[in-house]
Amino acid sequence: MFSMDFKFEIASLISKELKCKKEEVIEVLEVPPESNLGDYAFPCFKFAAKLKKSPVELAKELSSKLTCKFIEKVEIKGPYLNVFLKNDLVAKEFLSEIFIKKNKYGMSDEGKGKTVVIDYSSPNIAKPFGIGHLRSTVIGNSIYKILGHRGYKCVGVNHLGDWGTQFGKLVVSYKKWGDEKKLEKDPIKHLLEVYVKFHSEAEINPELEDEARAEFKKMENGDKESLSQWEIFKELSLEEFKKYYGMMNIDFDSWDGESFYNDKMEDAIKELEKNVKTELSEGALIVNLEEYGMTPFMLRKSDGATTYHTRDLAAALYRLKKYKADELLYVVGSPQKLHFDQLFKVLELKGHSNKLVHVDFGHFKGLSTRKGNIVFLEEVLDKAIELAKKTINKKNPKLKNKDKVAEMIGIGAVVFADLSNDRIKDAVFDWDKFLNFEGETAPYVQYTHARCCSVLKKSEVKVSKNVDWNKIEDEISLVKHLGRFDYFLDQAARQYKPSILARYLLDLSSLFNSFYAKHKIIDDGNETTRILIVDCVRNVLENGLNLLGVKAPEEM
């Protein structure tokens, strides 16, 4: 019996008494925030209402009926039923499972047979990779990894911003002010320069805007010269982007951007019109969403041009068909809420019952840059690595592979700083805080992992699950937290919130460091048991960090 069986067994006992489905109980059964409240807590509100009893009364009735070999005791705390498990059994089951499963610990088959398409990152080509796209990138990447660990087939899509009137502006501005040598030397910087120049010149000469619209129309109509220039810009941009994705160890299953759907939009409109009523409004083709409290969903402008709505509709229909997707996730900032509400409503009206989720997030605040208003990802990552090197030189100047470890720490600090923050909230960027080895940071978790590796290297005891389980006494809080990995991973997957996993890892690191400070591990009468605990902590920290997209160095 492995760790999740405890939860299932408790749910089975309760569901039997309540004469309900086990899944209904599992849905509300939770891990209490404090160990003195038990290992599992069952809130009685929902079921008490159905049975027309008070929650406290129901808790009292159930408490006397929950008995089995692994339950130590059951306590009532108002409307909550708190279940305490037997320590020796808990230790044996949790530690044995981690030892056996290793990096597969926390895997489940709950997503078996289900495909989730995740749209994330999506930077605009011909522009620097800004810090604004970092949140979508790292949140989406972690959700991809977490859901994959829970058995889902995940398809990661980088829906590149590679189409629209702005590319008409870019082609026009490059023809007027572009420099081939500058483009070869630093393509993104030069493209940004000419694009900015276009806007400043357009203020003096508004006719440039008409020229840009005409240029983009040529692109839409297949003009070879314009498209050839656009293709060069796109390739140069992808080359630059992939450098940063490589540094963060991120890849995608699809790089199909907005332009991919150019020849699919008219078919998407026709397909939609089979099921959904459209109408003309001042010459524009729309789906009227007034009765749902939303502005119209515009499919075609009055001049015949398609829109952002049209491209996302075509993309959604394509993904549902190509990947047979059960879920479509869009990891996009909160300001796009209305857009996705509209898109999801239109798809619902068309008859799609697939799960559609806007995984929204707040802004990054507190960043400054020497390069102007746009905060470049390159600048942030370079600074993070540089600061990590300085810290290493102070703390461990003799460390081997300093550059490699500094990259792990620096990039890990930036990624973890984002993910440890509830995505709904704005994240405040604070260099001193993010790179602190002792705060609630990636370096703190990474250092704890490295500390575990160091202990295991120094010990001559072979890691084994054949230990005396009765010797685990005041280490039990740490052991029980190891066993909760599956629960918190499940919550992170259900809520699409990597912050839940990040918080778990911080708490695990804190518990381990308290254990490390209090107990002698090597050359102790209980070394075999404690070395197993250290190895399990190391394994769970590495596993958890990997699911967040952060590397776990063995030395720091």
How does DSSP assign 427-469, residue by residue? EEP-HHHHT-SSSSSHHHHHHHHHHHHHHHHH--SPP-S-S-G
CB 147 within 8 A of CB 256: no
Distance CA 350, CA 276 (A): 6
Taking alpha carbons only, the member of 364, 280, 277, 350 closest to residue 316 is 350
Residue 185 in domain: yes
**Model-level pTM?**
0.92
Residue 220 in domain: yes
CB 93 within 8 A of CB 3: yes
C-alpha dist (Å) from residue 37 to 82, 266, 505, 509, 532:
6, 59, 21, 21, 27
Residue type, 390: K
| Overall number of domains in the chain | 2
- Residue length of the chain: 556
Of 85, 109, 136, which residue is a domain's last? 85
CATH number of residue 81's parent domain: 3.30.1360.70
Tens digit of each residue's pLDDT, the chain (556 residues): 344 478 889 999 999 999 999 999 999 999 998 888 999 999 999 999 999 999 999 999 999 899 888 999 999 999 999 999 999 999 999 999 999 999 999 999 999 999 999 999 999 999 888 777 899 999 999 999 999 999 999 999 999 999 988 999 999 999 999 999 999 999 999 999 999 999 999 999 999 999 999 999 899 889 999 999 999 999 999 999 999 999 999 999 999 999 999 999 999 999 999 999 999 999 999 999 999 999 999 999 998 878 889 999 999 999 999 999 999 999 999 999 999 999 999 999 999 999 999 999 998 776 554 344 567 788 889 989 999 999 999 999 999 999 999 999 999 999 999 999 999 988 777 777 777 778 899 999 999 999 999 999 999 999 999 999 988 988 999 999 999 999 999 999 999 999 999 999 999 999 999 999 998 899 777 899 999 999 999 999 999 999 999 999 999 9
Residue 515 in domain: no
- Give pLDDT tens digits for 3-29: 447 888 999 999 999 999 999 999 999
CB 256 within 8 A of CB 311: no
What string of DSSP letters covers 333-366?
A: -GGGHHHHHHHHHHHHHHT--SEEEEE----EES
Residue 40 lies in domain: 3-85
Q: 368: which residues sit within 8 A by CB, 6+ positions away?
A: 375
430: its two tokens:
């604070």
Helix (H/G/I), strand (E/B), else coil: 153 = strand
Residue 35 in domain: yes
Residue 453 in domain: no
CB 297 within 8 A of CB 287: yes
CB 481 within 8 A of CB 507: yes
Query: Residue 150, Cα to own-chain centre: how many angstroms?
Result: 14
Distance CA 60, CA 57 (A): 5
Taking alpha carbons only, the member of 404, 339, 364 closest to residue 139 is 364
The count of other CB atoms within 10 Å of the CB of residue 86 is 15
Helix (H/G/I), strand (E/B), else coil: 81 = strand
Of 227, 249, 271, which residue is a domain's last? 249
Q: Is the dihedral of CA 497, 499, 502, 508 positive or negative?
A: negative
Instruction: Name the β-bridge partners of 359.
Output: 331
Taking alpha carbons only, the member of 215, 211, 175 closest to residue 191 is 175
Residue 180 in domain: yes
Of 85, 103, 133, which residue is a domain's last? 85
Residue 78 in domain: yes
Residue 208 in domain: yes
Burial bucket for residue 65 (CB in 10 Å: 0-12, 13-18, 19+): exposed
Query: Residue 301, Cα to own-chain centre: how many angstroms?
Result: 35
CB 534 within 8 A of CB 521: yes
Instruction: Name the β-bridge partners of 130.
Output: 376
User: For 245-256, b where at least 16 C-beta lie within 10 A, e where not — what string?
Assistant: bebbebebebbb
CB 448 within 8 A of CB 541: yes
- Give pLDDT tens digits for 467-497: 999 889 889 999 999 999 999 999 999 999 9
Percent helix, strand and coil across the chain, each rounded to 5? 60, 10, 30
Helix (H/G/I), strand (E/B), else coil: 497 = coil
Instruction: Name the β-bridge partners of 306.
Output: 300
Beta strand pairing call for 115-119 and 327-331:
parallel
Helix (H/G/I), strand (E/B), else coil: 76 = strand
CB 144 within 8 A of CB 152: no
Query: Where on the phi/psi map is residue 38: left (φ > 0), alpha (ψ -120 to 50), or beta?
Result: left
187: its two tokens:
């393509």
Q: Is the dihedral of CA 317, 320, 326, 332 positive or negative?
A: negative
Distance CA 321, CA 323 (A): 6
Would you state the torsion angle of the CA atoms of residues 541, 475, 482, 249, taken in this order, to the nearest 10 degrees?
0
Distance CA 219, CA 209 (A): 15
Burial bucket for residue 261 (CB in 10 Å: 0-12, 13-18, 19+): buried
